[in-house]
Structure 1
Amino acid sequence: MDIKDINIALLEKCNFLLMVFDNNNQLSYLSPRWSELNVAAKKVPTIESLYGCCTTESKALLQQQILALKSQHNELDQFDIELTLATDYSIKLNCCLHSVQQNQHQHMVLVFNQHFAQVSSVISNNELQTIIENAGEVLKVGYWQLDCKTNQLFWTDEIYTIHGVSPSNYSPQLDTAINFYHEDDKSKITDAVEQALACGQEWSCIKLRVVDDDLQERTVISSGNVSRDLNGEITKLYGIFQDISGSEKIALERDFLVTALKETTVGMVIADKDKRVIWVNGSFERITGYPLKQVEGKKLGSILQGEKTDANTIEQLKIHLKKGLPITTRILNYTKSGDPYWNELAISPIFRDGKVAYYFAVQNDVTKEINIEHKLIALNTSLEQRIQARTQELSSLNQELEKQANIDPLTGCLNRRTLYRTLSDELLKTQNKNTYISLLMLDIDHFKAINDNYGHEAGDLSLKELTNTLRALTRKQDFVFRLGGEEFLIIMPNTNKAEAKQAAERIKHAVNEHKVYYRNFNISFTVSIGLLTHDGSISLQNSLKYVDDYLYEAKTKGRNRIVD
């Protein structure tokens, strides 16, 4: 069908979106702007497939209108329909139907007025958004958002409460917010944020300890994700904090709450007063395998519980919900594929006029944590019988795990895992003591040639002997790291530029004089060194970048030299 032959007035009336079907109910034309809503011709090749995109109520209405059009062949009154374009969102459009005859063929034209379109979640009606807002009042959850372009960080009131500060005396910044966390937990959240900003990796249910000015600790669970623009660039980083140590109720802004509930990696469910499902978020489907259409209108207990689900836990859930009381528990559930998983479940009733109107549930998959607890229980039982022998065994195991986690197995140097924490601590000490810190980054020149000419065993031996040289020429307070391959980093606290330059010269000279004896070969090599000294005011990331730049400059200028 040539769409240009249709009455021009009709096209003008369409405004934005148009679908044309022939007398056999086959799609003849689709307005290009449907692609903005991720609708292509292959998604709606026939009227029947369009019905499949409609909600139950809209499908019946559309069928009724099309039947009336075919019998009357007249333009009908406008009406609203709702199309479900994915499992987690739908679109409401104003629609009218027209019958057009061209070349003795009858065509049906569906005109959708995008001016009235509203893209939303499946719970797009105002009542359910109100449910979400009220649910936030009983959940101890705070929400945050970072604008990656402006570096502006937004906190809701509960985030301030969790961190023990108020909006009047603290303005949240990404660099300073890290200081609120326990020393042992800083690397967790730092690594999570860096991975998210670098490659869009989300994080879920990281347990952290927040320490306020009075040294009081709060335990929180953090989850986060990224938002991208149409070009795929990361524009925002957002997420939630849930205070699981008993903090005050949250004061929450609606837009951030709705976004967080839909996009967070925590599974969330809304059910009516009869406990029948109204809405689930995408993470619920990811955890359980059940999309909304398979659980809508059903009670989740009959779907997720199985033969090994604890009867006492089920009874406690029934008692609390019958009394209109919130409950938090752990329960064994089953996914759609039949796999068991441990669910940390929190259910809160939502009241209207003194009666329960809805239920809001949050679930976390804590299977790994439960499995660890079960293993620990079994281990404790064994320890009661063989406490002395097992204590020694566990001590050795912990030492080995610590060594594997923090030590390079080939050279015995510290590895990259501990670098950020160590360097961050030393930069802070340097600032507090009003002194200097120096970094030496060095690299074996032409290391590939050693491997190619003598074999990787000779290359490994060269790395080990270089490590021995570095240890012999550094102090007890210095830190020697193997960053990977033939690249090493030395952190020298309380060391000015002149002292660091002397140390670098000693290392370069010692390496030049040293020979590695391998089989019948005397292998010699040189190193290039980058040197950076400052008073602690340069950030961790920039410190590593600058000293790496100096190493690169030493390489490009001919190797076997020091650049600072």
Structure 2
Amino acid sequence: ATLRLVEALAGIGHWRYDLATEQVFWSDEVYRIHGLEPRSIAPDFPTVIAAYHADDQSSLVGYVSRAIASGEGYAFKLRLKRPSDGEQRIVRAVAEARCDSEGRTVELFGVFQDITDDENARMQIADSEARYRLLAENARDIVLRAGPQGIISYVSPSCRLLGFEPEQVIGRSTLDFVASEDRERAYAALQQLFSGDEPDPTLDRQFKVKGSGLSPRSVTSRSGKGSWTASGRKLAVRTRHCSRSRS
């Protein structure tokens, strides 16, 4: 009973495949992941294979065949087509093989998890990042990403307007590009962005930034947006306020 509660809470089931009897055992959570009531069917190997997307069935057969032949486990992420309603889910399985005294594989067993929601969230984040990068790399705005200590992990190619190549900027602190007399205020502004509070939209911040081979230019930021003027040209400076997860 305790194991069933743990599996239900974690969304992870377990299973066994006895090669001698060709019987398959599913825990209650594995049934639920398949969209079935516990013990509503007696699964066998053909039933297991048929539950997967047609394009993934041969992959599953290959994993199982290699495990039986080698006595080694496997892990996969494949598409499941639920027998109950035909809904496609993404599942992850990790398996081990049990061998007899002569080294022959007699049983496969493992754990099973529906990771559809996690995969969808990951793909949405990746898609959002791709759109963000496309915009950043085709804009004249200088777009950068930095952590709480100001270390730059990404900068758009438009940083060349300051006389730098992106590889000269990434890995350095944002404060490296601020004139010495303004660094203390710039650091305080950076910490406010990561404090969890929204930036004050009425507060103007002006800093002098250093370009490669250029005299310091003034950057004025208001609520994450601003501009600086050099030789009559105006360059927009935009910041993206991101929240941090706390472990």
For this structure pair, what is the TM-score category when the shorter chain's length is used for normalisation?
A: 0.3 to 0.5
Greater fraction helix:
1
Higher relative contact order (CA 8 A, sep 6+): 2
